[in-house]
Amino acid sequence: MENQEIKNSRAVLVALCHNSADMVETEKSLDELTRLLDTAGGDVFARLIQNKDTPDVRTVIGSGKVKELKEICVGNEIDLVIFDGDLSPSQIRNLEDELDGASVIDRSMLILDIFALHATTGEGKLQVELAQLKYTAPRLIGKGNELSRLGGGIGTRGPGETKLESDKRHMKRRIAALEAELEVLEKNRMTMRASRDRSGIPKVAIVGYTNAGKSTLLNRLTDAGILAEDKLFATLDPTTRKYSLPSGENILLTDTVGFIRKLPHHLVKAFKSTLDEAVYADILVVLADVSDEEYPAQLRVTREILGELGAADKPTVYVFNKCDRGVAAPVASVINTDSEHHVMLSAKEGDGVETLVELLDRILHEGKTRAVFVIPNAEQGALSTLYKNATVEDVEYGATAVTVTAIVDAKVRGMMKKYDICPPKKEEY
């Protein structure tokens, strides 16, 4: 499909509902699938829900619903059907055989399409291509034209499509080559992270559900100038900017890829280096669109994914964004107000941003003190410990020793006590 055809594509969305109690959640998931399709450039013609305890092995939905779906597609010249869940290669093949011409994709393929649309860096494009090859290509084999469907269209576009061949051996070689390229880029990223660690500048990752306003917040704070649209996954590649807190200390703020319901495991794996920005951060800023009635569920998804990444125990500030549009549900119902930091703000209008900045400054320095360490030249490995675990303010090299002034917490101060020449102060830094 050409891009203009993609924009004009009409699709039928299909979901399986296991019981009546799940109907509300099924409708909400289809609402989100509608927004995903809109982001990809298509329009919803109809939604079809099958009430069925277990999915049909051949076609997910029952034969009666398949017939109804075919009548909708043929009668209205619909060329795209999207299932709100993952399909096996045989299910896609069986459904397309039954539907006489309509293409069938699943939720993951649609998300991959959006990722391909929004990837701008070389690494992002490689990650998308690898994810598409590993997930999409096996689902396209056996259609007679082998991988010919990778020529374009919602659920099939991507930066590596022109490189694909029908030969499976070539596909495997391409996957191996992509993995090798990404491994090199990952090593470069780790080198950059190590450099940031040595600089002693604290790292703050802005995370949250897609379209919560992460890019808008980073633009508000740093004039980063990154794309901020009212679309899902408008930002895919991470952006890092330096920011000076009121105390004068610098931090590194990173905007990250958004989370979403049913985020496919293979996508988490493919974008591990991007998502690891949250893992390596010193503080997390978790954004939620408080004007969206679904924000409590979205916040729950965000917490679950952070847990899967191993980043759930970091110091966290919950930012309830877009409060200028109204609050859909009480904040007290989704966080522990006694122990969890939170801020109400509007990144677009700027309201509450100063409160967030002051809170970050306070959290960063909780329990920290300024200390001076004298490290003998023969033991300068201890200096690396400070660069890695503290904020180094000043270094003076002498004939026999290095004198270092740094902001440290109790743990690091204990580690460095043999070099510490300043008694600990009772007051916090």
* Between residues 123 and 102, the one the model is more confident about: 102
Residues 298 and 262: beta-carbon distance below 8 Å: no
Lowest mean pLDDT among 201-205, 328-332, 334-338, 395-399: 334-338
Q: Model-level pTM?
A: 0.74
pLDDT band at 55 (very low <50, low <70, confident <90, very high): very high
Cβ partners under 8 Å of residue 170, min gap 6: 164
Radius of gyration of the chain (CA): 25
CA distances from 190 to 194, 213, 363 (A): 6, 27, 26
Looking at residue 395, its pLDDT comes to 92
Lowest mean pLDDT among 6-15, 128-137, 220-229, 299-308: 220-229
Share of the chain above pLDDT 70, in %: 81
Residue type, 10: R
The shares of helix, strand and coil residues in the chain, as percent rounded to the nearest 5, are 45, 20, 35
CA nearest 156: which of 125, 112, 126, 118?
112
pLDDT at 57 over 60: yes
Q: How far apart are CA 38 and CA 90, in angstroms?
A: 27
Q: How far apart are CA 51 and CA 65, in angstroms?
A: 10
pLDDT at 105 over 80: yes
Highest mean pLDDT among 14-23, 294-303, 403-412: 294-303
Cβ partners under 8 Å of residue 324, min gap 6: 346, 348, 349, 351
* Interval 260-276 mean pLDDT: 72
* Between residues 427 and 307, the one the model is more confident about: 307
Looking at residue 428, its pLDDT comes to 45
Task: Give CA 233 to chain center in angstroms.
Answer: 8
pLDDT at 4 over 50: no
* Interval 270-284 mean pLDDT: 78
* Between residues 302 and 415, the one the model is more confident about: 302
Looking at residue 234, its pLDDT comes to 64
Residue type, 279: V
Lowest mean pLDDT among 26-40, 156-170, 269-283, 329-343: 156-170
* Between residues 297 and 391, the one the model is more confident about: 297
Beta strands in 193-340 (DSSP E): 203-208, 239-244, 250-255, 283-289, 316-321
Looking at residue 142, its pLDDT comes to 42
Q: Give the DSSP letter of residue 266.
A: H
Q: How far apart are CA 380 and CA 390, in angstroms?
A: 15
* Between residues 190 and 50, the one the model is more confident about: 50
Residues 202 and 251: beta-carbon distance below 8 Å: yes
Mean pLDDT of the chain: 82
Lowest mean pLDDT among 125-134, 240-249, 342-351, 407-416: 407-416
